[in-house]
Each structure stands twice: as structure tokens, then as C-alpha cells.
Amino acid sequence: MERQSLREQFKKDGYVVIKKVLTDEEIARYKNRMAELAADKKANWTLPDGVNKEKDFWPIIFNERILAKVREIFGSDVKYLQHNDLHVGFSSFSWHRDSVNREFGIGPDWEEEDEPYELARVGLYLQDADSGFKLGLIKGTHRPDEHLPKREMNRIHSRLKGLPNLWAALTGRGLLHRKADWVATEPGDAIIFDPRILHTGGKFKDVKYSFFIAYGLPNKHFFNHYNYYRHLRSDLQYQDYAPELKAQLQEHGLYADEQHTVEEIEGAWLPSAAFTYVAKRFK
């Protein structure tokens, strides 16, 4: 894709797919390290803030193939955003957003009059193509008031709560599954997506290996997102940057000065006890 069209596609659809950004050597190295970390854990293991916590994964933050694509979307001033995970044998069990504000129209994530929301998650997939895994994404749901007729937008959002979402998760059927683009991944592929887009993981066989990092332009949305995962989501146990990692980020121009801790963000989604219970047991 040309520079402008990549940015345009991301802004319009809410995601772009980049094929084979990792080499075979990188795929094997990261996959083997994740297998070692998960060796004595349960089948669906995850480690929030895992890229930061595990030094072996730091090189992915500075991967020039990934940074080149992110800079095509956001420009040269992009910074690393502390929102990262390691996943082994794990796939999300319901339709969701990864943003601070997950209900459309409520909270600062949806307020772009003064500062644009220019953040991206980068999902990297290592498992074999014949695993059958696909990531489902619903185009336009990062800016539904721009891209979806109001009636359709209301139908989609009505399926996100309670029994409709649970039924769809258990059966793999329903309006959201029919509306989604289902992206099949091959080893080394990356999906760059707006945290506000509705998405979910599909079923797979054998073991799924994936991990996630994030970038963005440092404005109010960036720092809300940072504070949310670093401080408000205490259940995820995010930690301060290791001094060595902070120094590397500064050296590469990817470090954004951490802002003061906030105690509350309007409309921020926090997991209920029931959600946490189901999430821990769902495979």
C-alpha cells in the first residue's frame, strides 16, 4: 500500500493487516520463549505487561518493520504506549474493545474535537496457519457515528451486553459474528488496530501464540490509556518501566514522559466480579 492509503484504511476500517513482519528466526525465538514461560501454567496462559516484564521480548518494541508501518499511519512522532501482553493458548471469549471507554459515546475516548485519538495496538501471531485461528473485527466500530448508519450502530451495540454477547461467545453465531471481518493469520503476521474497534478471537486447534504491543501520539488519549492500564487496572499488575528499557526507549525516541497518576477516568471500563470469574475459566 502507498503511504496515504495505509493511513486512510486504518482511519476508515479501524485496522490494517501486515503480512510476515517477523522473520522465521524471530518467530521461532519468541514462540519458544513463550512456551518456556507457560510450561508449568494452565492451558490458556496470559501475562499482562509481559513484553515489558520479559527482557527477551524488548526487541519487538524497536522492530523497524513494525515501526515503519505505525509511522505511516501516525507520523514520525509516534511513541511506545505501555499496553502489552503475552498469550499462550488464549483467545478472548466475547466481543469487546481494548480502550478505556468501551461504551460508545461515553467518556473522553470518544471526544476528538480538540485532540485526535491516534493509538494502535499491534497483535503479532506465531502459531501455524492450520491452527484455524481468525481474529474477528467489525469495521467502523472505532468511529461508528462516522461509518455506520445509526440504526445499524444501535443493533450492534445492543448485542454487547448480557445474554446476547454470552450466547454469541458460546455458539459462535449471531449478528456480530456475521458482521465481522474474520482475519486468518499466518506465522509472523501483524494486525494493527484501533483499541476502540470491536473484536474477538476465534476458535483454534493446538496451541495459539500471540503477543501485543501499542503505540500512539502523546496527547490526552495517550496518557489516559497509559494511566488506565498502569494504574486504574490494578488487577493486571502493570509495573514501572525497567530503567534499562526506559533508557532504550529514550535512545530510540519512543519514550513519552509518564504523566501524573489519575484516580478516575470518566466512563472507564472496569471488570465486574462476574466478568473476572468467567474470564478466568473460559477457554
- The C-alpha angle with vertex 138 and arms to 283 and 109, in degrees rounded to 5, equals 95
Stated pTM of the model: 0.93
Query: Residue 44 carries which side chain, given as an amino acid letter?
Result: N
Q: How far apart are CA 210 and CA 87, in angstroms?
A: 5
Candidates 56, 191, 58; CA nearest to 122 is 191
- 136: alpha, beta or left, given left = phi > 0 and alpha = psi -120 to 50? beta
Question: Does residue 149 belong to any structural domain of this protein?
Answer: yes
Helices 64-74 and 3-13 pack at an angle, to 10 degrees, of 70
Name the domain count of the chain: 1
Question: Does residue 216 belong to any structural domain of this protein?
Answer: yes
Q: How far apart are CA 169 and CA 154, in angstroms?
A: 19
Question: Does residue 282 belong to any structural domain of this protein?
Answer: no
Query: What is the pLDDT averaged over residues 168-185?
Result: 80
Query: Which domain, by its residues, includes 225?
Result: 3-277
> Which tops the pLDDT comparison, 249 or 4?
249
Question: Does residue 214 belong to any structural domain of this protein?
Answer: yes
pLDDT at position 165 is 62
Contact in structure between 18 and 192 (CB atoms under 8 Å): yes
Question: Does residue 226 belong to any structural domain of this protein?
Answer: yes
pLDDT at position 160 is 86
What percentage of the chain carries pLDDT values higher than 70?
A: 90
Number of other CB atoms surrounding residue 157 within 10 Å: 16
Using the predicted structure, report yes or no on whether residue 1 has a pLDDT greater than 70: no
Q: Which of 1-15, 118-132, 248-262 has the highest mean pLDDT?
A: 118-132
Question: Does residue 218 belong to any structural domain of this protein?
Answer: yes
**pLDDT tens, 111-131?**
999 999 999 999 999 999 889
b/e map of 158-168 (b: 16 or more CB within 10 Å)?
A: ebbeeeebeeb
Instruction: Supply the CATH number for residue 48's domain.
Output: 2.60.120.620
Using the predicted structure, report yes or no on whether residue 62 has a pLDDT greater than 80: yes
Question: Does residue 283 belong to any structural domain of this protein?
Answer: no
Confidence of residue 254 (pLDDT cuts 50, 70, 90): very high
